Structure 1
């Protein structure tokens, strides 16, 4: 019969090398493990029988080694508590990795980040319990590169109901977020790609790393201008629900023009649906994908609606791209966690996701309204735009003041980004003033991109005060 101590004892790796008896070698190995810090003060050692069985030595050899080290003060032994590394044993300080000594600014108004405290822990935990209880055994084996069928089925139903998407579960591929989706698509859809003249530099950078050259397309208050896509691009990356970061949905005529361009050229529209669920002062705008499922790729994720740490996104693909994307993804890696996919599937099916989005929509709208009201009262010289949807607003500034505003914000403890940082480096601007349209694709003028979702409630008022003080400093 197997000894209970042998079964229940903790594992401990020791190298029994060198001259001397087994007892002496064991004592030396234990001393070195403690001295080096590998066994920290308070660590409980395995029972005699367990360690003896693992090391292939007699039980008395381990008992004698423990007893000697207790006598020397390296270990302690107490009835009911077992044998532990003595608390007063000096161990070396762990080597510290070099770090940035700059302290983070106290007020975080950087766009695109939900408040971590708003994550629905109780509802998510309930979904996790139900999902893991109901999960088939095969869910814990090697997965399908398309993602868990339970999640793809719920996503197909949810996206059809909420975003007007036309698809089946077999055309949905789960990925780890929008960036992962773009990396996969870059391996399937050759360049160059057309992109909006304002957009995430990170996305342009990862496309460049994948060998995809990007060409800017004009942007104004009605979104991108697909009629001005030059000849050559095989895809156009758009944010139709809410142009990022300038704001505003893509005008209906331009939605149709984007689809016409794709059909005429054989290209694809890549629709980044990054905050289509968060709209405040307008009727819901359906996904562009619903107009042309054969030419539009819908890209979505839960990074802003729930948390970026979940690393769950999806692509709704035309049939012509599905096999290529699956081949690019590979048979094993990188996959999103199957347990989190199952949990999200239950979260969607139970209605918890809808309830969370509605709750966060109310909260974000209240925060946006506070931002607009405070700026109107205290800094009436600026204009706030792009506020009908999303998690940020653009504070338009007089020409030539953006750098000063960013510097003043940092001095007042506010982390915020400038509008100029989102501009495509190849975009050429012409006259037109703030809110105008540059002939090479950009609206002119300086501005700040102010996120209002991240700060905890207790800091939001202070963040708005600091922002107003910074703008006063920069604009006086």
Structure 2
């Protein structure tokens, strides 16, 4: 009967033949990359027990590979795989420095990550984990954690006037997974194309195209999506950012909301309402979500990415009853459901008011930052015209006619400023502009960034 043994660290190697065999297999594992630089190896006693050889065999093999430069050993730190550049005949192709970062990153859509409510989130995680039933640690409900779906239905009803029962809410791994699920369900139910706004974020178009949907563009003007042009798009599904169009920042006019829903009813269509940053309004209350006007035709989508942090990867869909089961089934086949522990923490943050408190704090923070950016632009670049309502995490500035916004973006990048050109979000020309995110920078940093904009203009 084999002896029982325990080890601090396991290491899977083929059965070796003596010391040379141990050396050879360890050397091959290092060179093949199965043992990466910095990997700590088992002690000689532990590895000898695992391989069924004498401890001296492993000790000799380690000593030989240390001498060759494959391994390093320090008293108290054990034996580790050395950096690749120390191996015989190897060159170090890795980069020791991280890629350069922009001094002023005005990328849109990024919240103030430094304002993430770490203490409240940690407390919510701790309390939620303590309260979880043992069964909740098994495979999750693919529709989402029940308490979170109840909290989201309540929150969305209060804050966005969404008409939703918990059974109609499906929790996803961020908005991107929600769009992927919808794309596949649209294909499965007979759709071959989908309309998106022009200009718009490139992400949804890429997701739809990846799943085989033909993407059609419909222009946006000062009242939002040109619903009157949808008939020329030859499709029965459309994605809109009705509350705060990305990137132009306009709001879909009430008459166009009604016209859009009339269009959907007439062609048996689907409207996907991406409510990506509607909670952030600074000068007036936002219009309620369009979903409440016809829950049978509108899919409502949201996430925590603009309120808390993209790293959480938590999103949600509020689905018409006819779509709910097929979306949940696709979600089950995708990943067996979103992780329960983060869902439980978010449910706790919502139920205790922590989510609402964080929103109140960040609204004040972002309004001050938006005001600082616009004041600096008025003082230094008065010919640049801000576009859109006071909302969200970014503002579009219209540049003087004839400006090449892509060339300006490139000049700014060389000065260490990330300021995306409006042309990057458009398939057909609109007007020259920059899409400036302000949420992640302090007022002083924003004023410094504007001076760089002036220098490059």
Task: Work out whether the TM-score is over 0.5.
Answer: yes
Residue of structure 1 equivalent to 2:144 = 147
Structure 2 residue aligned with 1:9 = 8
Higher mean alpha-carbon deviation, 204-213 vs 278-287, is at 204-213
Between stretches 205-214 and 456-465, larger displacement belongs to 456-465
Tell me, yes or no, if the aligned pair for 1:140 and 1:338 is still in contact at 8 Å: yes
Higher mean displacement: 7-16 or 94-103: 94-103
The 8 Å contact of residues 418 and 447 in structure 1, kept in 2 or not, is answered as yes
The question of whether the paired residues in 1 share the 8 Å contact of 2:373 and 2:443 is answered with: no
Contact 1:35 1:90 survives alignment (8 Å)? no
Mapped contact 2:162–2:289 kept (Cα < 8 A) = yes
Structure 2 equivalent of residue 55 of structure 1: 51
1:455 to 441, 446, 449: 441
Shift in alpha-carbon separation, 1:96–1:256, aligned structure 2, 3 A: same
Shift of 1:212: 1.9
CA distance in 2 between partners of 1:214 and 1:406 (Å): 27
Alpha-carbon contact 1:412-1:467 (below 8 Å) kept: no
Structural RMSD (CA): 3.4
- Per the alignment, residue 106 of structure 1 pairs with 103
Alignment partner, residue 217 of structure 2: 216
Distance across 2 between alignment mates of 1:39 and 1:399: 54
The C-alpha deviation readout for 1:407-444, integer Å capped at 9, x for no partner, is 4323432111122222244xxx8xxxxxxxxxxxxxx4
Are positions 1:173 and 2:170 aligned together? yes
In 1, the alpha carbon distance for the partners of 2:23 and 2:263 equals 77
C-alpha separation between the residues in 1 aligned to 2:426 and 2:205?
11
Q: What secondary structure does 2:43 align onto?
A: coil
Within 2, Cα distance between the matches of 1:103 and 1:272? 33
Query: Are residues 24 and 371 of structure 1, via their aligned partners in 2, closer, same or farther at CA, if it must alter by over 3 Å?
Result: closer
Alignment equivalent of 2:418, drawn from 415, 418, 423: 415
TM-score normalised over the length of structure 1: 0.82
Give per-residue Cα distances to partners, 1:71-112, cap 9 Å, x unaligned. 99768696xx59646999994268536899973432111111
**Relative to 1, partners in 2 of residues 1:392 and 1:30: Cα closer, same or farther, differing over 3 Å?**
closer
Q: Deviations over 1:441-462 (max 9, x none)?
A: xxx4221111112336663332
Which residue is 2:122 aligned to?
125
Quick check: 133-142 or 387-396, which moved more?
Answer: 133-142
Query: Which deviates more from structure 2 when the two are superposed, residues 37-46 or residues 412-421?
Result: 37-46
Q: CA–CA distance in 2 between the matches of 1:85 and 1:224?
A: 59
1:344 is matched with 346
- How far does residue 365 in structure 1 lie from its aligned partner after superposition? 0.6
Pair 70,155 (structure 1): closer, same or farther in 2 beyond 3 Å: same
Give 5+ residue unaligned stretches, structure 1: 430-443, 472-476
Aligned partners of 2:394 and 2:435 also within 8 Å: yes
Structure 2 residue aligned with 1:301: 303
Q: Identify the range of structure 1 (330-339 vs 88-97) with the bigger mean alpha-carbon deviation.
A: 88-97
> Which aligned pairs between 1:310-459 and structure 2 lie closer than 5 A?
310-333=312-335, 335-403=337-405, 404-425=407-428, 444-455=430-441, 459=445
Q: Give the distance between the partners of 1:176 and 1:391, measured in 2 at CA.
A: 22
User: Given that residues 145 and 332 in structure 1 are in contact (C-alpha distance below 8 angstroms), is that contact kept between their aligned partners in structure 2?
Assistant: no
**Distance between the aligned counterparts of 1:445 and 1:23, measured in 2?**
72
Alignment-derived partner of residue 255 in structure 2:
253
Distance 1:69 1:306, change over 3 A: closer
Question: How far has the Cα of 1:42 moved from its partner?
Answer: 9.6
Task: Provide the residue aligned with 1:291 in structure 2.
Answer: 293
Contact 1:114/1:453 (8 A) holds in 2: yes
Return the offset for 1:390. Answer: 0.7
Counterpart contact for 1:47–1:82, Cα < 8 Å: no
Judging changes above 3 Å, is the alpha-carbon distance between structure 1 residues 8 and 291 closer, same or farther for their aligned structure 2 residues? same
Residue in structure 1 matched with residue 283 of structure 2 by the alignment: 281
**Structure 1 residues 413 and 144, CA gap change in structure 2 (3 angstroms):** same
Q: Determine the structure 2 residue equivalent to 1:268.
A: 270
Q: 1:227 to 1:40 in 2, by over 3 A?
A: closer
Query: Secondary structure of 2:333's match?
Result: coil
Distance 2:164 2:257 in 1: 19
Instruction: Tell me if the contact between 1:289 and 1:297 (Cα under 8 Å) persists in the aligned partners.
Output: yes
Q: Does the C-alpha gap of structure 1 residues 69 and 118 become closer, same or farther in structure 2, counting only changes over 3 Å?
A: same
Q: 2:133 aligns with which of 133, 136, 141?
A: 136
Instruction: Give the deviation of 1:178 after TM superposition.
Output: 2.2
Asked if structure 2 preserves the Cα contact closer than 8 Å seen for 1:114 and 1:304, the reply is yes
**How many angstroms apart in 2 are the aligned matches of 1:56 and 1:455?**
59
Task: Give the superposition deviation at 1:40.
Answer: 6.2
| Whole-Å separation in 2 of the counterparts to 1:422 and 1:340 | 32
Preserved CA contact (<8 Å) 1:280 1:389:
yes
Out of 183, 187, 198, the position equivalent to 2:184 is 187
Structure 2 unaligned blocks of 5 or more: none
Are the counterparts in 2 of residues 12 and 46 from structure 1 also a CA contact under 8 Å? Answer: no
Mapped contact 2:250–2:388 kept (Cα < 8 A): yes
